[in-house]
Structure 1
């Protein structure tokens, strides 16, 4: 019995263990089932309930919107010559963590980029938490490809466009320049930035964790290239003006100079040159003073170039004609309110035309004091002085002309010969273009085929008389024989103004100017030359600026195929031919003469 009991015990234990095993199995199966249900529920939550949320989260990490660069519009001159073009370039960028993981290749990368290896490594280390860092912008495609061909992990290229100016400093002040992102910063590049820039496109791409584009998903926005622009500028005339102005600055050792050439028929700017200039292809190598468009921003007292505007008021008043009344300038001095208004010579008795011919300050001051102040002010203002020309050029100055009712008698007198107001070179050119086009003022334009607003400032009769009066300025005994152009009649006016300083007016610093119209019988072109502070040989407008006008206009007339109107003579004959004074009252003047301000400095 004992041995049977001994054997039976294990069997009983086995029977007792059976239910326990099944329990455990059920528990395991239950747990697995619950886990499976949990996974299913989690999958349902991820793929159905919160699918959109996690899709956005994933996209935020790997889906990127990248710009599609567009080419900036080309700028042409009026004849189709390119003045500003956009060329494709490549910018090299890096994923710093990936590049630093291959540190041994940084020296080779630095050599290809043309930078110091230690500086490059330090730059990457300082930005090690970023995924995108520019290493070098706007490389030539060939040079950039040499960098990419190294196959260094984390180094990538990005296509961009860079502005190039074929004419360099020749058209720098008109065009301006763009920044590294190809947006206009100055000049017409800034004024027409929206037109030229176009609209960059955009596309969605998938990037991996290292920042590499692995798939283009879709195009979000189609790129819209910039639109081209055709200017009124004639590069050939611009070239002539640049070279002649440069030669004059060197010859007379002047500080700076400007020249503007307008089409008298519509106000289009055919040339605008300033010196010193700069290379817009290397803007960083220039100074602010070189980049200033002096013809638009710098103000000057016009001196005797204002006298035709004074005469416009005089003729419009009905008190004066080109030959009457006679004006007494005897002695060359007029002591007015304690100040000496004087001429450089004693011109005696002059007709109004003679005042223009001889550039008599005494005569101009006497005429000014005889005119109604409101009429004189309105005439000056009507010709655009004290107002912007509304050319649309960025940074254009308005000049300064005090309201007429505030003029003191002495101020009014000196305004007659160009002191006490400030103008720009473009304003002065536009005033003469108004005279040239029969008294019709156009808005100066830098875009070809200008059809801007016009305004009649003086009558065609007065405008015609003014042109005839100004023809005598290049005749015998006048201030600007060097403005003559063979076979063409020339009308114009000189101006030699003392420059203002802190104590009044400088005795040794001048602004030499000449403003002219050609051909005088049928005006087509207007040119204004202003040279600042000539130091050698001469400082008179007739000697310094008039020759520049003549050489540039002679070339321009030939380029534009303008027929001669005065073959074999210097200027058209007629009742205004000669010295402009009373017959026999003034002997010929051998040397050019010009203007001087009143004594005792500024009024």
Structure 2
């Protein structure tokens, strides 16, 4: 009996143990079921959002900046894709044990990484290295340090380098225009970035593009009016002249008188926009637009034009310049020598200060200043370029005789090289002033008549004689008829006009029988043996103009005879 009793007890204990185990299993199953319901139903949205945060990313879609080209679509500024490395400091800090992978890395080493992420521990985005070549970025990405990611950006590249630097300008590291056309047309050139959703793996690699949330829109292209061939030519000749004459700097501008387009604009000193390390601020200036100077004798054709337009003289009139000097107030104005009684053309041919002084003083004191303002002096050219100077044209209710006299031969007024080129373009275009343009012009704009066509043509003939027999023979171009005027100006310093510092100038156009191309050359402070405009600036004009006429396929011809005057009653002042 006792054995049977023991067996009954053991069977009872086994049944209770089984029930307890089954109860625990049932409770576990219920708990797991409840947890499953909680995760999949009660916390589904929260967990899904957290999952997306750990795997889905919103990334920018880079938009490239518009291309800047010359008039023939040759690239002057283009955007090339580059790789930027960025980091999420929180993720990087959580993986300290892997920083050693970057020890000695030439792009981002472990010490630099530690400094950057520890200083920005509360942030979720910092740049580590920007605008890298893909192979450079791969040196870091290949180490698979958590929290370091690549980003595609664009870097600006300037194929023509320093040849177009002052005109085109440059952008900063964020692809925002800082100088030149890049700055003035930034709103048009700048692209609109987009956004996309991607899936990344544990190493930060994009394994799937989910959706484009916002399309990227590239910037608009801009076609400039300049011809890169002419730009290279003008740059080379100006650089050679500045070097040869030991000058401080210089500028050259080439215009199309029929359309108002700027075909070339160069300056010295220049800089390389692709590598601006160590560049001096002074080298960034587009001197042709920002720097002003007194135009000297290059303004004398406008004095003659004012006298013609006011009816004071005609093309056959004469001026008595004897004895080669004239006293105005307490100043004696001199010519190189006594030219005697000369006609209006000879006033320009011999660059007579006495002649232009007599013409100016014979007019009402407001006529000449007002006339020069009509030509654009003292007014900006209105081209879209940052920092353009309007020059200086004095406004006076009463002009003293000495001020009028000085104005007649180019002192007391300040202009830019571009303004001087615009004034000569009026003469070359038959007396009509056109708005200037740095963009390619499809249709010639409407102009404003400044002087009569007859007087403009007479001035062209007179300026041709300046080169054929006057002060600017070195500006001649074999095979072409050329017109223009030299200028040599004492530089104005804080102590007054310097006796041994000059601006050498030349302004002219060609072909003289049908003017089309206007060129102005300015050489600042030549310190060599020569300093006269006819010796320093005129040869530069000749070389530039010869190249321009050939490149633009102008037919050469033999020069015409010296200007002999146009019919009309003779007069004398």
Alignment of 1:562-581 (within 5 A): 562-565=554-557, 567=558, 569=559, 571-576=560-565
Please tell me whether residue 434 in structure 1 is matched to residue 426 in structure 2.
Answer: yes
- Contact 1:148–1:156 at 8 Å: present in 2 too? yes
Alignment partner, residue 15 of structure 2: none
**Which of 121, 124, 132 lines up with 1:131 in the alignment?**
124
Q: How far apart are the structure 2 equivalents of 1:54 and 1:408? A: 88
Partner of 1:458: 451
TM-superposition CA deviations, 1:404-427 (whole Å, max 9, x none): 524222111110011111111000
Gap change, CA 1:85 and 1:534, over 3 Å in 2: same
Greater shift, 119-128 or 70-79, is seen at 119-128
How far does residue 98 in structure 1 lie from its aligned partner after superposition?
A: 3.6
1:48-447 equivalences in 2 (<5 Å): 65-103=58-96, 106=99, 109=102, 111-114=104-107, 117-205=110-198, 216-324=209-317, 326-447=318-439
SS at match of 2:212: strand
| 2:72–2:227 Cα contact (<8 Å) kept | yes
Conservation of the 8 A alpha-carbon contact between 2:307 and 2:359:
yes
Cα displacement string for residues 322-361 of structure 1 (whole angstroms, at most 9, x for unaligned residues)? 230x222223221111111122222222211111111111
Partner of 1:511: 503
Which residue of 550, 556, 562 maps to 2:542?
A: 550
Matches within 5 A, 1:483-498: 483-498=475-490
Q: How many residues align?
A: 539
Task: Give the direction of change, closer, same or farther, for the CA distance of 1:460–1:117 in structure 2 (3 Å limit).
Answer: same
Cα displacement string for residues 270-309 of structure 1 (whole angstroms, at most 9, x for unaligned residues):
1000000000001233111111000000011111111111
Matched residue of 2:140: which SS?
helix
8 Å Cα contact 2:107/2:136 also seen in 1: no
1:577-592 mapped onto 2 (5 Å cutoff): none
**Aligned-pair distance for 1:453?**
4.2
Deviates more, 1:532-541 or 1:88-97: 88-97
- Conserved? CA contact 1:264–1:523, under 8 Å: yes
Change (3 A) 1:41 1:244: closer
SS at match of 1:281: coil
Alignment RMSD, CA only? Answer: 3.0
- The 1:136–1:40 alpha-carbon spacing in structure 2 relative to 1, beyond 3 Å, is closer
Aligned twin of 2:492: 500
Structure 1 position 101, deviation (Å): 4.7
After TM superposition, give the deviation of residue 94 of structure 1 in Å.
Answer: 2.0
Q: TM-score, normalised by structure 1?
A: 0.83
CA distance in 2, matches of 1:519, 1:140: 50
Deviation at 1:485, TM superposition (A): 0.4
Q: 3-state SS of the aligned residue for 2:474?
A: helix
The structure-2 alpha-carbon separation of the partners of 1:185 and 1:458, relative to structure 1 and needing over 3 Å to count, comes to: same
Aligned to 2:471: 479
- For 1:41 and 1:147, how far apart are their aligned partners in 2? 42
- Give the Å deviation of 1:392: 1.3
Distance in 2 separating the partners of 1:216 and 1:253: 61
Aligned equivalents of 1:212, 1:132: Cα separation in 2 = 17
Shift of 1:211: 7.5
- Partner of 1:280, secondary structure, is coil
Moved more, 484-493 or 500-509: 500-509
Q: Residue 457 and residue 95 in structure 1: after superposition, are their counterparts in 2 closer, same or farther (change >3 A)? A: same
Structure-2-length-normalised TM-score: 0.87
Moved more, 192-201 or 271-280: 192-201
Contact 1:265 1:524 in 2 (8 A): yes
Q: What is the Cα deviation at residue 449 of structure 1? A: 1.8
Report if aligned partners of 1:377, 1:404 keep a CA contact under 8 Å in 2: no
Deviation at residue 456 of structure 1 after TM alignment: 1.1
Q: How has the CA–CA distance of structure 1 residues 95 and 345 changed in structure 2, closer, same or farther, with 3 Å as cutoff? A: same
- Post-superposition offset of 1:250: 1.1
Q: Map of 1:531-546 to 2, 5 A cutoff?
A: 531-546=523-538
Residues 222/116 of structure 1: CA separation in 2 closer, same or farther (3 Å cut): closer
The equivalent of 2:3 in structure 1 is none
1:524 to 492, 503, 516: 516
Q: How far off is 1:77 after superposition?
A: 1.2
Alignment check: 8 A CA contact 2:464 2:563 kept: no
Aligned to 2:19: none
Counterpart residue number, 2:17: none
> 4+ residue runs of structure 1 moved beyond 6 angstroms?
38-47, 53-63, 206-215
